Amino acid sequence: MQVLLIDDHALVRKGLEELLESRGMHVVASAGTGQEGIDKAQELNPDIILLDIKMPVMNGLETLEKMREIGINTPVLMLSMSREEEDLARALRGGAQGYLLKDMDPEDLLPALNDAIAGRNVVAKELIGTMTRIIQGKPTVQETPQPATPLSELTPREYEILSHIAEGGSNKVIARQLGISDGTVKLHVKAILRKLGVHSRVEAAVMAVEQGIDKPTD
């Protein structure tokens, strides 16, 4: 399976490449911008493209639309942190084969890629209800807005890992407890520090305790 990665974060690209290569897939190239991704897609004709949404200059949705406009029909899976209905709807309308979340279980990625190449639509299970509403043309269920906190930007997986950090867990211990690799934990920790605007695990742990983070479940 020939895969093209398009994401503006080098760390994410590196982590994905290592994950995919370890599962027997071949990353033919990776790109840090939408235009670079389009150029590589035309040059290399990969089997499938993993495309981030939140990128500067030309975001992933614009990149997808431009690909389809110029005749690149390679299956595209959007890989994003965004759970916004508007993003999902635009991706599906733009011709994406699927929409996955970056905090998904790494073991679910290979089956998703295989399904997409086989022509099946793939959507993160957390977004199936949203997709159904989009297809049926129903309005989104309105939720009571919650006050923003420094932890609000974290994904469920990042929140879970931060709760273990607050308990003093090392990457190795956290990986064992959650059943994921050390490398995956490391990627999440870097994302947590960036989102919280701190520079160390200790600062992140202090902030977590101050914000009343839930204790990790057994």
Q: Is the pLDDT of residue 143 over 60?
A: no
CATH 3.40.50.2300 fits 2-136, yes or no: yes
Residue 26: beta bridge partners? 2
Average pLDDT for the chain: 87
CA 137 distance to own-chain centroid: 26
The CA distance from 151 to 7, in Å, is 24
What φ, ψ does residue 56 adopt, rounded to 5°?
-75, 165
Instruction: Give residue-wise pLDDT tens across range 155-204.
Output: 888 888 999 998 888 899 999 988 888 888 999 999 999 889 888 888 88
Q: Which pLDDT score, from 0 to 100, does residue 144 have?
A: 45
Q: Are 113 and 1 in contact (CB under 8 A)?
A: yes
Degrees to nearest 5, angle at CA 55 with 178 and 18: 40
Q: Under the phi-then-psi rule, with left for phi > 0, alpha for psi from -120 to 50, and beta for the rest, what region is 71?
A: left
- Does the CA dihedral 179-183-189-194 come out positive or negative? negative
Strand order in the sheet with 2-6: 26-31, 2-6, 48-51, 76-80, 98-101, 122-123
Confidence band (pLDDT; 50, 70, 90) for 51? Answer: very high
Q: How far is CA 213 from CA 126, 148, 150, 158, in A?
A: 22, 14, 11, 12
Q: Is the pLDDT of residue 80 over 80?
A: yes
CATH code 1.10.10.10 region(s) in the chain: 156-210
Closest CA to 76 of 66, 85, 84, 86: 66
Instruction: Give residue-wise pLDDT tens across range 106-115.
Output: 888 889 998 8
pTM of this structure? 0.62
Specify the range with the lowest mean pLDDT, choosing from 58-62, 100-104, 211-215.
211-215
Confidence band (pLDDT; 50, 70, 90) for 141? Answer: very low
Residue 2: beta bridge partners? 26
- According to CATH, the topology of domain 156-210 is Arc Repressor Mutant, subunit A (1.10.10)
CATH code 3.40.50.2300 region(s) in the chain: 2-136
Q: Is the pLDDT of residue 129 over 50?
A: yes
Q: Which pLDDT score, from 0 to 100, does residue 69 have?
A: 93
